[in-house]
Amino acid sequence: MSPINPNGDDLVMITSNPMSTQGDPLNLQTVQGKLAKAKGPAFWRSLDELSATEGFQDFLHREFPRQAGEWLDDEGRRNFLKIMGASLALAGLGACTKQPTEYIMPYVEEPEKLIAGKPLFYATAFPVNGIANPVLVETHEFRPTKVEGNPEHPASLGAADVPTQASVLGLYDPDRLQTVNYLGEIRSYSSFLLAFVQLLEKQRSQKQGAGIRILTQTVTSPTLYAQLQDVLKLYPGAKWYQWEATGHGRRMGSQLAFGQFLNATYKFDKADVVVSIDANFLANGPGGVRYARDFAAKRIVRDGKRTQSRFYVVETTPTSTGAKADHRHSIVPSHVAGFVHNLAAALSGGAPSSSAPVPPAAQAFFNALVADLQANKGKSIVIAGDDQSPEVHAVVHYINQLLGNNGETVILTASLEQKPVDQFAEIQSLVSDLNSGQVDALMILGGNPVYDAPASLNLRGAIQLAKQRIRLGLYDDETSEVCQWLIPENHAFEFWSDAPAYDGTVTIIQPLIAPLYGGKSAHDLLVAFTETPEKTSHALVRDYWKTKHTGADFDAWWNRAIHDGFIKDSASAAVKAEAKLVPASAASTSGSGTYDVSFHVDPYVLDGRYANNTWLQELPRPITRLTWDNAVVVSAATAKALDVDDEDRVEISVNGKTVWGSIWRVPGQPDGSLGLSLGFGRTRSGRAGNGAGFDANLIRTIANPYYASGATVKKLGEKFRLAAVQHHFAMEDRDPVIAGTLAEFIADANFAQKKSETAPKGLTILPQTWEYKGYAWGMAIDLTACSGCNACVVACQAENNIAVTGKEQVLNTREMHWIRIDRYFSGSEDNPDSYFQPVACQQCENAPCEVVCPVAATSHDAEGLNNMVYNRCIGTRYCSNNCPYKVRRFNFLLDTDWETESIKMQRNPDVTVRSRGVMEKCTYCVQRINYAKIMAEKEDRRVTDGEIVPACQSTCPSDAIAFGDLNDPKSRVSAWKREPTDYSLLGELNTRPRTTYLADIRNPNPALSTTKGVS
Amino acid sequence: MSQIFKSSTNSLARTSLIVTVVVLGGLGGALYELIADSSYATRQGEAREQPIPFSHAHHAGSMGIDCRYCHTGVENSQHAMVPPTKTCMNCHSQIWINSSTLQPVRDSFQTNESIRWTKVNDLPDYVYFNHSIHVKKGVGCETCHGRVDTMPLMYQHASLEMKWCLDCHRNPEKYVRPRELVTKMGYEPAEPQDELGPKLVKEYNIQKLETCWTCHR
């Protein structure tokens, strides 16, 4: 069934070409012909590549696209030539210059344990939605520079996700709110306290605080909750509300199913069948990092393991988690509830729903799914996503109970929230309090409700009805705009607090740096209500835990907890609860149109809270490959029906509101549904986030915040460019990914190596001068495990001082990431299989780059690395031109920020900060290699296996990367490379890359036809 | 009238043009090389002004204080480390307590503000040098920093050019000394260096690291 042309009659023309302005026709017959001819899975990146449009070919054949090497700004070009002329003439004078004088500023008294030049690591946590992401933060002379996962913490096991990796840039964001403000004037914190205490006095004496409203994000911190209780005791009339845009479905779903708020955690390492109902659990949400590790453990086929779990995905928009599916079913959002009800009915032997039966096209998928689940009772997991309604979550809880999974693979515990409530009701209560004029003082502690609350509430107007509006915030953002007192909020690396991890493990948050801008935390502001307004947050957190720890050895216990970053064995205890089946609710329609609109939290900037983080804005989304914008994600068939092409602006009207966005066609999006990401269209996020994308909250309502039905879509007849990287650095007409099924693999373990060619050693005209007698560094990447989350890309960016280039330059293929995660499609255009492949410098033994450099700025070394020397590079770009993997990145412009002081503090002092005109690329984190080698040499030993962990491997949630010494047969990487699935990327070129890949093995259900593997 | 210039003058004129260019270019190049390698450009031997005229000749020379009393990082870290004010005050809270020369030290200690020393041995930011491994491998302080014990004001002993680094990286046996003697000033090898050197290179497992990423990254 083709969505483009279901009848197969005349040719369908879809003009599409993101690379050039003129459109080339995409010919359906070409596409289908190409697919039919292909042997095994044919891989393609986009519909353009599939139809081999002229524009795509042109794009491919250039080292960088046409515009990348050109100077587009005419005025600037003239100036540049003038300056270049002068520089050439004066070049000789360079010899007459001296190095500028530099200074050394030693400590007056050296801090304990510090050895200048050696990093120190501190355990803390980065809380997202109140859930702790446990981390170790690398600090250089007490400047946090890099985040690693906390290897001892059960929620991390050493890995960290994308927002956590990028958190360190958020700390140094120059756009942060830096001063206490009152009506736009800079004030001191003490003047705020003075005004605040007067206000409190009045409230207490006159109305017991009845005019006070406190709005927080979801409170999970036990200390903060205790403080709030104290405040509410002192001011019995005051009210405390919680609001956060995400997590509602999960929270209310458990209430709906069990009659109480519970937290579910999942044991993916025990599940043989996993069903995701729109859950992006490998990338986002509580426990994502641990789940990715556990899930991968069941999927990998290394060390003689020849079993895999089976993974079914039902999705309303393509996600990176869905890309790992063995079978994926795309579904319009309004049918999800019906689907899970049908699933529940089928599993309990009941009759399917008559109002929303399983569509015939999905029947085979549905039957196979039911059969697999029934055969794996107690060994399966059904998990619902954060973008799904409480009803779907409740039914999924019921399904897990039917399957006997609860207590086995699904562990129910008490809620992690201190006071779980219906936050949609809470925000509505606040709005009605405000509208009725009851509120004398509103304190907004963190969050950004004016932006992320559904527009239908009109919170912006309501807030202004409060007489005193006090706002603690990281930024002068949309919410700050309507508040009078602005107090700069501390970043998570600047305060003391505590938070549970996904499983309830108590995690202590300690500051790593004194507040950069004299900020305050919610703890500091709440303590101002009490009789001890000067009490520090350190004392608050410590004193709280003193009341909880019964032993006499509190100091030792507490120091241990801070050192480890968490309290050992403090995970929440499992509880037993009975789920009931909730009846199906009637589907609601909010417009007269025919399209569904689904709302999704962006995997990186989340609900918009990290919109000003340039690393996150420029990080390509796993499936859409978009940077700097969100888009209206549609299927090719929907685009055809709407008569729109990529980057066409459309107007979406639903719920009586309108928003515009740019079309982006993504294979795998269900027909008739538009996928919109939340978190964009910020107006006051700071310089990076302002104007990035459009705000989907504008058409979101409190009644149905998950999707809207009946939307109308109007073509506006104009384009809005989207900076997608999906064609950048493409390797033409080659099958970079090797994939197969588990059955194929068991039948022929060496199938991957048969599909890849590797020239015999010595078959080269290049002199073979290198013997690798000492170490021989190598890397292996397991494509079965890789979940395409991009955490490695941002970890690499943090570790290696990689510049951000901005949307304009991404459009010119000038992004600087050393790793790119290629995403390939295979199979049908409407619901293809997806594959990920992280590609960084392959460190070839016969490196094409080395032989063409005229100044030997890139050269081989005795350990097999391709050294790139910035101070030698003169920027000919020959190396990049000659690189078949397209992994070299050239500094076309001065993208590195040499001006902003706060950003300089983030830089890794062990890596050169590059300037304009030099080439750069992955180094295997040579700074870490050298550090380990020096440590080993000083102890007269060899570097042990596992001592060197590159930044990408270190953060990888699914543990898909191994690095080490190939000369050591016992090393982990050597073992991986002995796997029969190991193959070299473009091995036929005889580059002998040091990075190799383990083929992507999937486990499709034999009962279902599939395109995976060799046909 | 006969021609003033013979026809061969044409070739002469052309040749002289080329010769001029070559000679001028050569001179320019030679000048460039001379200046680039000169102590003027490298600042070799140039004593630098410091906020306090600290004398290594006095402290390390006459007093005989070991290098590592102050430069505590030299065996552990990439940086040898300029000592914190506290290190100065260990002695100078007892001796020379009224010296006006030491006023900046006392000020620093009282105000908790760092003393701003001028960097003497300053490598470019793209060079990553690690003190600890050189000390461990038997490279004496003196080998790079010269007779510090005779320097009233610190100056840069070596050119610190890459070829200077490479000389030792290529021929470590010429410079290596027993580990116990790395801080000794005025070291003389107990046996001829051409015998001792190769022996120590073997004993200390000294590698000839000449690849770019040894120092640049």
Residues of B in contact with A926 (CB under 8 A): 213, 217
Tokens of B185: 């000033």
What pLDDT score was predicted for residue A473? 92
Residue B14, domain extent:
8-37
Does B51 fall in a domain?
no
Question: Using one digit for the tens of pLDDT, what is the confidence trace for B127-179?
Answer: 999 999 999 999 999 999 999 999 999 999 999 999 999 999 999 999 999 99
Say whether B115 and A106 touch across the interface (CB within 8 A): yes
- Sequence letter at residue A856: A
- Angle subtended by helix axes A554-564 and A537-548, to nearest 10: 120
My answer on whether B94 and B163 are in the same domain is: no
Chain A, chain B: beta-carbon pairs less than 8 Å apart:
131
Cα B172 to Cα B174: distance, rounded to the nearest angstrom: 5
The alpha-carbon gap from A139 to the nearest alpha carbon of chain B, in Å, equals 15
Cα A42 to Cα A737: distance, rounded to the nearest angstrom: 10
pLDDT at position A652 over 80: yes
Q: Does B163 touch chain A (CB under 8 A)?
A: no
Percent of chain A with pLDDT over 70: 88
Which residues of chain B are modeled with pLDDT < 50?
A: none
Using a 10 angstrom Cβ sphere, with 0-12 exposed, 13-18 middle and 19 or more buried, the burial of residue B102 is middle
pLDDT at position A72 over 70: no
Question: Which long-range contacts link B106-113 to residues 24+ away (Cβ below 8 Å)?
Answer: B108/A108, B109/A108, B109/B85, B112/A108, B112/A109, B113/A108
Residue B135: which of B101, B170, B192, B176 has the closest Cα? Answer: B176
Residues of A in contact with B212 (CB under 8 A): 859, 861, 867, 869, 872
Does A437 fall in a domain?
no
A673, A690, A723 - which closes a domain? A723
pLDDT at position A301 over 50: yes
ipTM for the predicted complex comes to: 0.88
For A552, residues 6+ apart whose C-beta sits below 8 A from its C-beta are none
For the segment A437-454, the average pLDDT, to the nearest whole number, is 90
Does A675 fall in a domain?
yes
Say whether B119 and A104 touch across the interface (CB within 8 A): yes
Top residue of A104, A800, A866, A910 to mutate, by most chain B CBs within 10 Å, is A104
In contact, A466 and A440? CB cutoff 8 Å:
yes
List C-alpha distances in Å: A410 to A388, A503, A557. 19, 12, 31
Tokens of A268: 């993916």
3-state secondary structure A414-440: ECCCCCCCCHHHHHHHHHHHHHCCCCC
In contact, A991 and A884? CB cutoff 8 Å:
yes
Task: Specify the DSSP element, H or E, that contains A194.
Answer: helix A189-207
Can you give the CATH number for the domain in which A702 is found?
A: 2.40.40.20
Cα A244 to Cα A220: distance, rounded to the nearest angstrom: 12
Q: Does B104 touch chain A (CB under 8 A)?
A: no
Does A266 fall in a domain?
yes
Residue A744: which of A269, A301, A366, A272 has the closest Cα? Answer: A301
Question: Using one digit for the tens of pLDDT, what is the confidence trace for A22-32?
Answer: 334 444 555 55
Say whether B85 and A106 touch across the interface (CB within 8 A): yes
Question: Using one digit for the tens of pLDDT, what is the confidence trace for A599-611?
Answer: 999 999 999 999 9
Tokens of B14: 């052309």
Top residue of B126, B129, B213, B216 to mutate, by most chain A CBs within 10 Å, is B213
Tokens of B103: 């006023």
Count of structural domains, chain A? 2
Cα A80 to Cα A151: distance, rounded to the nearest angstrom: 50
Residue A176: which of A479, A799, A613, A803 has the closest Cα? Answer: A613
Q: Residue A119's closest chain B neighbor by CA? A: B77
Question: Using one digit for the tens of pLDDT, what is the confidence trace for A547-587?
Answer: 888 888 889 999 999 999 999 888 889 999 898 888 887 76
The alpha-carbon gap from B9 to the nearest alpha carbon of chain A, in Å, equals 32
For chain B positions 35-54, those within 8 Å of chain A (CB to CB) are 35-36, 40-41, 43, 48
Cα A542 to Cα A975: distance, rounded to the nearest angstrom: 46
Cα A491 to Cα A949: distance, rounded to the nearest angstrom: 28
A364, A397, A414 - which closes a domain? A414
Cα B145 to Cα B130: distance, rounded to the nearest angstrom: 14
Does B139 fall in a domain?
yes
For A859, residues 6+ apart whose C-beta sits below 8 A from its C-beta are A850, A853, A866, A867, A869, B211, B212
pLDDT at position A92 over 70: no
Cα dihedral sign, A348-A351-A354-A358: positive
In contact, A455 and A657? CB cutoff 8 Å:
yes
Q: Give the one of A101, A861, A937 whose C-beta lies nearest to B213's C-beta.
A: A861
My answer on whether B110 and B24 are in the same domain is: no
Say whether B136 and A871 touch across the interface (CB within 8 A): no
When comparing pLDDT for A152 and A40, which is higher?
A: A152
3-state secondary structure A314-381: EECCCCCCHHHCCEEEECCHHHHHHHHHHHHHHHCCCCCCCCCCCCHHHHHHHHHHHHHHHHCCCCEE
In contact, B78 and B128? CB cutoff 8 Å:
yes
pLDDT band at A590 (very low <50, low <70, confident <90, very high): low
My answer on whether B126 and B188 are in the same domain is: yes
Question: Using one digit for the tens of pLDDT, what is the confidence trace for A930-970?
Answer: 999 999 999 999 999 999 999 999 999 999 999 999 999 99
Residue A833: which of A35, A4, A52, A41 has the closest Cα? Answer: A41
List C-alpha distances in Å: A1015 to A19, A250, A566, B34. 33, 41, 51, 70
Q: Give the one of A99, A117, A926 whose C-beta lies nearest to B213's C-beta.
A: A926
Does B43 fall in a domain?
no
pLDDT band at A991 (very low <50, low <70, confident <90, very high): confident
Residues of B in contact with A913 (CB under 8 A): 125
My answer on whether B110 and B163 are in the same domain is: no
A384, A414, A444 - which closes a domain? A414
Does B177 fall in a domain?
yes
pLDDT band at A179 (very low <50, low <70, confident <90, very high): very high
My answer on whether B209 and B125 are in the same domain is: yes
Cα A456 to Cα B63: distance, rounded to the nearest angstrom: 80
Cα A785 to Cα A296: distance, rounded to the nearest angstrom: 5
Q: Does B189 touch chain A (CB under 8 A)?
A: no
The alpha-carbon gap from A492 to the nearest alpha carbon of chain B, in Å, equals 28
The alpha-carbon gap from A935 to the nearest alpha carbon of chain B, in Å, equals 8
3-state secondary structure A781-799: EECCCCCCCCHHHHHHHHH
Q: Lowest-confidence range among A67-81, A700-714, A767-781? A: A67-81
Top residue of A97, A98, A99, A108 to mutate, by most chain B CBs within 10 Å, is A108
3-state secondary structure A544-613: HHHHHCCCCCHHHHHHHHHHHCECCCCCCCECCCCCCCCCCCCCCCCCCCCEEEEEEEECCCECCCCCCC
Mean pLDDT of chain A: 86
3-state helix, strand, coil in chain A (%, to 5): 30, 20, 50
Does A662 fall in a domain?
yes
Burial of A653-666, coded b for 16+ CB within 10 Å and e otherwise, reads bbbebebbbbbbbb
pTM over 0.90: no
Task: Specify the DSSP element, H or E, that contains A651.
Answer: strand A648-654
Map residue B91 onto helix, strand or coil.
helix
- Sequence letter at residue B15: T
Q: Does B90 touch chain A (CB under 8 A)?
A: no
Does A783 fall in a domain?
no
- Dihedrals φ, ψ of A123, to 5°? -85, 135
Cα A833 to Cα B160: distance, rounded to the nearest angstrom: 57
DSSP strand E in chain B: where? 117-118
Q: Which residues of A touch B (CB under 8 A)?
A: 92, 95-99, 101-110, 115-118, 774, 859-863, 865, 867, 869-872, 910-913, 923, 926-927, 930, 934, 937-938, 940
pLDDT at position A11 over 60: no
For the segment A959-985, the average pLDDT, to the nearest whole number, is 93
Cα dihedral sign, A218-A223-A225-A227: negative
My answer on whether B208 and B143 are in the same domain is: yes
Count of CB atoms situated within 10 Å of the CB of A967: 17
H helix intervals, B38-188:
39-42, 56, 67-70, 85-92, 103-111, 131-136, 141-145, 162-170
Largest CA distance in chain B: 100
Say whether B217 and A116 touch across the interface (CB within 8 A): no
My answer on whether B105 and B124 are in the same domain is: no
Residues of B in contact with A102 (CB under 8 A): 118-119, 122
pLDDT band at A438 (very low <50, low <70, confident <90, very high): confident
Cα A135 to Cα A976: distance, rounded to the nearest angstrom: 28
Cα A853 to Cα A850: distance, rounded to the nearest angstrom: 6
The alpha-carbon gap from B141 to the nearest alpha carbon of chain A, in Å, equals 17
Can you give the CATH number for the domain in which A331 is found?
A: 3.40.228.10
pLDDT band at A470 (very low <50, low <70, confident <90, very high): very high
Say whether B108 and A913 touch across the interface (CB within 8 A): no
Using a 10 angstrom Cβ sphere, with 0-12 exposed, 13-18 middle and 19 or more buried, the burial of residue B189 is middle
Task: Specify the DSSP element, H or E, that contains A479.
Answer: helix A478-481
- Angle subtended by helix axes A390-402 and A248-258, to nearest 10: 50
Does A672 fall in a domain?
yes
My answer on whether B143 and B60 are in the same domain is: yes
My answer on whether B75 and B149 are in the same domain is: yes
Residues of A in contact with B36 (CB under 8 A): 95
My answer on whether B63 and B18 are in the same domain is: no
Q: Give strand pairing partners of A712.
A: A653
Say whether B205 and A930 touch across the interface (CB within 8 A): no
My answer on whether B78 and B180 are in the same domain is: yes
Say whether A913 and B125 touch across the interface (CB within 8 A): yes
Does A884 fall in a domain?
no
My answer on whether B128 and B60 are in the same domain is: yes
Residue A609, domain extent:
595-723
Question: Using one digit for the tens of pLDDT, what is the confidence trace for A379-417?
Answer: 999 999 988 999 999 999 999 999 999 989 999 999 999
Cα A31 to Cα A700: distance, rounded to the nearest angstrom: 37
Does A257 fall in a domain?
no
Q: Residue A915's closest chain B neighbor by CA? A: B126
Count of structural domains, chain B? 3
Q: Lowest-confidence range among A82-86, A304-308, A493-497? A: A82-86
Residue A161: which of A35, A44, A286, A336 has the closest Cα? Answer: A286
Say whether A108 and B86 touch across the interface (CB within 8 A): yes
DSSP strand E in A208-299: where? 212-216, 239-242, 262-266, 273-277
The alpha-carbon gap from A864 to the nearest alpha carbon of chain B, in Å, equals 11
Tokens of A40: 């095994």
Residue length of chain A: 1015
The alpha-carbon gap from B189 to the nearest alpha carbon of chain A, in Å, equals 23
Does B109 fall in a domain?
yes
